[in-house]
C-alpha cells in the first residue's frame, strides 16, 4: 500500500496507493504523538508510521487478510538503498517503542508487554510506499525516494518474517494490493519512526 496524502471520501480517509483508512487515521497527518507528515527531504531510511489501536483490520476486496485487537498498526515503507539490516533496526524500534500506558498512566510499555503483565498486543503490518513521498514542492507528490517495487516487496516480506519470529501476534496486508484498512486509534496516538540508511 502506498499512501501518505489523504482525501476525505464518504467519511473515511482514502490513502493514495489504495488503502482506505476508516476511523482515526494516521494516513500522513499529524497525530497525537507528533507524527511527521512525510519523509524528510534528502533523508533516507525505512519508515514505519505506527498507531496505537483498540482494533484494526485490513481487507483486499471482501476478504480480511489480517486483523488485531489492542496493539499497533504499522504502515511500513522501504526507501531506495534500504537493506535487511535497516529493516531489523526498524523492527526493533517498532517492537520496543513505549506507547502503551503503565499503571501510573505514563507511556511506558511496548507492544510486547501491553498491560505490564507480559501480555503481547497485536501487530498489524501494512505496506505503504507513499510514506516516502517528497512533498517539498508543487502540488503533486514525487515517489522517487521509494524503493523500486521488487525491492519494496522483498524488504516488506523480510520485515514480516522477522516480526513473526520475534512477536507472537502478527497480521498483514498484501504488498501492492488495493487494501482497505479500518482502525480505531486509541488516544489518538501516532508516531513516525524512521531508521537511517
What is residue 19's DSSP assignment?
-
Which pLDDT value is given to residue 43? 66
CB 79 within 8 A of CB 44: yes
Which pLDDT value is given to residue 44? 78
Q: What is the pLDDT tens value at each position of the chain, 197 positions in all?
A: 444 333 333 333 333 333 444 443 333 333 344 434 444 545 679 999 999 999 999 999 999 999 999 999 999 999 999 999 999 999 999 999 999 999 999 999 999 999 889 999 999 999 999 999 999 999 999 999 999 999 999 999 999 999 999 999 999 999 989 999 999 999 999 999 999 86
Q: Is the peptide bond before 188 cis (omega within 30 degrees of 0)?
A: yes
CA angle centred on 85, ends 82 and 89, rounded to 5°: 100
CA 108 – CA 121 distance, rounded (Å): 14
**Catalytic positions:** 128-130
Beta strand 45-60 with 71-77 is: antiparallel
CB 167 within 8 A of CB 115: no
Could you give all domains of the chain from N- to C-terminal order, each with its CATH number?
A: 6-196 (3.50.80.10)
**pTM over 0.85, yes/no:** no
CA 39 – CA 47 distance, rounded (Å): 8
Three cell numbers, residue 16: 493514495
Residue 135's H or E segment, with its range, is none
Three cell numbers, residue 142: 514525487
Amino acid at each position: 500500500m502506498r499512501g501518505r496524502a489523504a482525501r476525505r471520501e464518504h467519511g473515511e480517509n482514502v490513502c493514495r496507493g489504495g488503502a482506505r483508512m476508516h476511523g482515526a487515521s494516521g494516513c500522513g497527518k499529524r497525530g497525537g504523538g507528533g507524527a511527521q507528515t512525510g519523509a524528510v527531504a534528502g533523508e533516507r531510511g525505512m519508515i514505519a508510521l505506527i498507531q496505537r489501536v483498540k482494533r484494526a483490520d485490513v481487507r483486499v476486496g471482501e476478504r480480511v487478510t489480517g486483523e488485531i485487537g489492542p496493539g499497533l498498526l504499522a504502515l511500513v515503507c522501504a526507501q531506495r538503498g534500504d537493506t535487511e539490516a535497516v529493516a531489523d533496526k526498524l523492527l526493533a524500534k517498532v517492537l520496543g517503542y513505549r506507547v502503551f500506558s503503565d499503571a501510573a498512566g505514563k507511556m511506558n510499555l511496548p507492544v510486547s508487554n501491553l498491560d505490564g503483565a507480559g501480555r503481547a498486543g497485536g501487530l498489524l503490518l501494512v505496506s505503504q510506499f507513499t510514506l516516502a513521498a517528497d512533498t517539498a514542492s508543487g502540488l503533486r507528490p514525487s515517489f522517487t525516494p521509494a524503493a523500486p517495487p521488487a525491492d519494496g516487496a522483498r524488504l516488506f516480506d523480510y520485515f514480516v518474517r522477522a516480526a513473526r519470529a520475534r512477536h507472537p501476534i502478527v497480521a498483514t496486508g498484501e504488498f501492492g494490493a488495493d487494501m482497505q484498512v479500518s482502525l480505531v486509534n486509541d488516544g489518538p496516538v501516532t508516531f513516525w519512526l524512521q531508521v537511517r540508511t
